[in-house]
Amino acid sequence: MSGTAKPAVLFVCLGNICRSPLAEAAFRREAHKAGLDVEIDSAGTGDWHVGSPPDPRSQAKALEAGIDISAQSARQLALEDFTRFSHILAMDQQNLADIMARAPNDTTAQISMLMDHVPGREGASIADPYYGGEENFTDSWDDAVAAAKALVRELAG
């Protein structure tokens, strides 16, 4: 993808029901606020929840921020994502390893950890909140917002 093409950003976690829907929602809001023209989606490396809406705890967390994500539907990372998206962002190290393992030779996407884009948080994961409590979803949302703001600054810059 050339430097002038519209960016396309894909957020990837394991199930596409907890973290990446929050990352997608936070980034959608920040991109809209900044007037950034960008394609946005999320996916999971696993297929267990394909077709499901986000986890009710993620839905509640987004709704607290005024964002309704109930219409999102989980999907699995697909081969064409590696050429359709300019940026593929992993929530944790395992996601990153799984994405890299599936990347075709002709991938054009820049693949990285989402928190690598937040100054001072390089290498950090957005921890999997699935087996956790509400506080873990709060942490996921806060990380997603910090990453969304940093990523918009980077792409708009």
Tell me which residues are annotated as active site: 13, 19, 128
Indicate the residue among 23 and 36 with the shorter CB distance to ligand 4NP.
Answer: 23
Q: How far is the CB of 146 from ligand 4NP (least distance, A)?
A: 17
Indicate the residue among 30 and 98 with the shorter CB distance to ligand 4NP.
Answer: 98
Q: How far is the CB of 30 from ligand 4NP (least distance, A)?
A: 20
CA dist 57 and 134 (Å) reads: 7
Q: Answer yes or no: are the C-beta atoms of 33 and 115 closer than 8 Å.
A: no
Indicate the residue among 39 and 48 with the shorter CB distance to ligand 4NP.
Answer: 48
CA dist 13 and 149 (Å) reads: 19
Q: What angle do CA 36, 39, 45 make, to 5 degrees?
A: 135
Give all strands (DSSP E) within 19-109, no chain letters.
39-44, 87-90
Q: How far is the CB of 83 from ligand 4NP (least distance, A)?
A: 24
* Neighbour count for residue 155 (Cβ, 10 Å): 18
Residue nearest to ligand 4NP (CB): 15
CA dist 13 and 137 (Å) reads: 14
Q: Where along the sequence are the contacts to ligand 4NP (CB under 6 A)?
A: 13-19, 44, 48, 128, 130
Three-state secondary structure string covering 60-85: HHHHHCCCCCCCCCCCECCCCHHHHC
Q: How far is the CB of 28 from ligand 4NP (least distance, A)?
A: 17
Indicate the residue among 49 and 155 with the shorter CB distance to ligand 4NP.
Answer: 49
